[in-house]
Amino acid sequence: MSDPVLLEITDDIAVIAIANPPVNALSHSVRQGLDAAFAEIARRDDVKAAVIYGTDRTFIAGADIREFGKPPQEPFLPDLINRIEACAVPVVAALHGTALGGGLEVALGAHYRIAVPSARFGLPEVTLGILPGAGGTQRLPRLAGVEFALEAITSGRQIGAEEALAAGVIDRISDTADIREMGLSYARELIASGAQPRRTSDIAPEPVSPDVFEQARAKLAKKARGQLAPQNCVKAVEGALSLPFAEGLANERALFQELMESDQRAALIHAFFAERQVAKVPEINGVEPRAISRIGVIGGGTMGAGIAVSALLTGLQVTLIERDAEAVSRAETNVAKILQGSVKRGKLTQEKFDAIMREAFEASAEYATLATADVVIEAVFESMEVKKEVFTKLDAICKPGAVLASNTSYLDVNEIAAMTTRPQDVIGLHFFSPAHVMRLLEIVVADETAPDVTATGFALAKRLKKVAVRAGVCDGFIGNRILSHYRKAGDGAVLAGASPFEVDRALVNFGLAMGPYAVSDLAGLDIGWATRKRLAPTRDPREVYAEFADRLCEAGHFGRKTGKGFYVYDDGGQTPNAEVIDHIAEERAAKGIAAREIPEQEIVDRYMAAMINEAARVVEEGIALRPLDVDVTLLNGYGFPRWRGGPMQYADTVGLEKVLADIERFAQEDDFLWQPAPLLKRLVAEGKTFADLNNA
């Protein structure tokens, strides 16, 4: 392996190049190399300045996250950065790409910072369940002010060069293309002007009112409910103001260590790597995707319009098909409305909006306009008959090699593919609503889908900035199949004695964005009702079928859109619907169930056990490639709390033995719903975890 840190002395300037692809993370060998370089600079008397820069596409993306959880090796990053800051000659950080986490902390330890206009900065540690642990919480407030630092550190957001310059994070922006040269010429200028080292730790931070910290704590307690890292970030920044620099650093270190040992840190880092691992699908390894520039979308409702917008925003040409002129015009309005939302939020300029609507988007009632599309995504009504009709038409019109995709969320993609003479070109692309916002895309690979069609699905997802998960064909694929099981566990808890409102509250307290009954109200209760009716003929007579949601639907209460569902919606507020309690009481009486009090923890245990158990089946059947694919699905499409890492990570954290024991306990009440998955039993017997399968 070539040296990750290279030191050369040129014109009395020590030039330190970091070359640790892909992102120049501060691995042990990089820290050693930097330490040795600064030791060498200290030894020499012919060096008048130093420059640090990153080779290839970026400066430094931070500490090497793969080293977390392993025994730490010296030199430690905080000590190394102190050593850089203590350097007797001016140190310049020349910045391009991203300077993130420990990377930005290295730059803050340097004495002068220069960046190209496209450079981006940030302390994203909080998103990994930790805090900037190499002086970031002490140096950023000194350079850019406490309030700026507090916001940047607790949000973890990336900051552009202009904003960084205005805030004092960097000293200068330069559009010199050669980063090494950019650093060198700044260093030469500093030497010529007799500039001295300028140590951030010497700056006295500007005092702020203690209210600033209290307000931050209160805001984060709401926004980042249940999370440790944001609160520790506040404490660390507070220390920058209340403690001398060295003590502030020690305080930061202690708070950092506390987080390093937390399950939340393990979960968030699992999520980070899982979202990258999920794109590694063996069957497409080395397979070239088909070219995509023109997309066809069939159906201009909420889903179709969202898909169209998502494609338009990444520069693709989109043709949207609707039934007749009136529907075409409605679809156009839907697309324009969503795009206008981007204009309002400042994400899109009015000129760009006009150009997209004029040049990249067309809506039509003529299927023939799809003849040149590279990928066509059908997003019509969820009925096999309707889908079959669409695919028969597509088969007749689309060019050879076009990818024909269905956005179905439950239906059999093999059956849809069989309607065409080219099943190898057919795939499921299951977007989540609203499609221009939600990050998840399930790529449903049917029996005959060609590997380059699957590869095209993944390439399209990347282009649309989505996280794609490979799924096999079954009712509901990965996400909705698992959902239907844990929803039944929620209903089971209600029949046993909890109210839907208690179930929602328990799961929100657990960390879900919304409880399941509030979600059903939002999605429309008629949707679940239609699915239940569709599956009724095949329902196993042993299933304890909960009817209380059907009672609401029969009365025309479909949730938010009708003003009433599990909750009553008026004046922008939401209150429990008392009628639901009556329906449940009647149902319990009819079923001979004596209600008992269900503790909050039991509600969570039931819900999680059902989720994990069905997920284990989904993995065992190969519907999901690995447990991590399930985690990524639930995190990005179903509001699962990221700081718990996904259901499989959660299962490993609480222990698979406990999950199995829970299932066996609940089975005493309903042994049809609670049948342990063979994979779960096997892992427990072998003393293994889901993580072992991820790494297999």
Which residue ranges make up the site for ligand 3H9 (CB under 6 A)?
A: 22-23, 25, 61-66, 77, 98, 100-102, 105, 124-125, 128, 132-134, 136, 276
- Given the complex with ligand 3H9, which of 60 and 187 has the nearer CB atom? 60
* Distance in Å, CB of 27 to ligand 3H9, minimum: 8
Q: Select which of 85, 125, 322, 614 is catalytic.
A: 125
Q: Which residues pair with residue 53 across a beta bridge?
A: 17, 94
Report CA Rg, the chain: 28
* Distance in Å, CB of 225 to ligand 3H9, minimum: 22
Q: How far apart are CA 197 and CA 182, in angstroms?
A: 19
Q: Which residues pair with residue 86 across a beta bridge?
A: none
* Distance in Å, CB of 142 to ligand 3H9, minimum: 16
- Given the complex with ligand 3H9, which of 105 and 412 has the nearer CB atom? 105
Q: Select which of 105, 322, 502, 602 is catalytic.
A: 105
Q: How far apart are CA 477 and CA 429, in angstroms?
A: 11
- Given the complex with ligand 3H9, which of 70 and 358 has the nearer CB atom? 70
> What's the one-letter identity of residue 405?
A
* Distance in Å, CB of 252 to ligand 3H9, minimum: 9
- Given the complex with ligand 3H9, which of 63 and 190 has the nearer CB atom? 63
Is 448 known to be catalytic? no
- Given the complex with ligand 3H9, which of 314 and 675 has the nearer CB atom? 314
Using the 8-state DSSP alphabet, how is residue 18 labeled? Answer: E
**Is there a contact between 628 and 694 (Cβ–Cβ < 8 Å)?**
yes
Reduced to 3 states (helix: H, G, I; strand: E, B; else coil), residue 99 is: strand
Using the 8-state DSSP alphabet, how is residue 314 labeled? Answer: T
Q: How far apart are CA 447 and CA 455, in angstroms?
A: 15
* Distance in Å, CB of 29 to ligand 3H9, minimum: 13
* Distance in Å, CB of 316 to ligand 3H9, minimum: 20
* Distance in Å, CB of 109 to ligand 3H9, minimum: 12
Q: Please name the residue that has the structure tokens 């694919």.
A: 629
Reduced to 3 states (helix: H, G, I; strand: E, B; else coil), residue 113 is: strand
Q: Please name the residue that has the structure tokens 């190399």.
A: 33
Q: Of 346, 333, 325, 324, nearest to 304 (Cα)?
A: 333
Distances (CA, A) of 105 to 15, 78, 131, 169, 329: 19, 9, 12, 11, 53
Q: How far apart are CA 193 and CA 187, in angstroms?
A: 10
HEC letters along 466-492: CEEEEECCCCCCCHHHHHHHHHHHHHH
- Given the complex with ligand 3H9, which of 33 and 101 has the nearer CB atom? 101
- Given the complex with ligand 3H9, which of 22 and 592 has the nearer CB atom? 22
**Is there a contact between 51 and 184 (Cβ–Cβ < 8 Å)?**
yes
Is 657 known to be catalytic? no
Active site residues: 105, 125
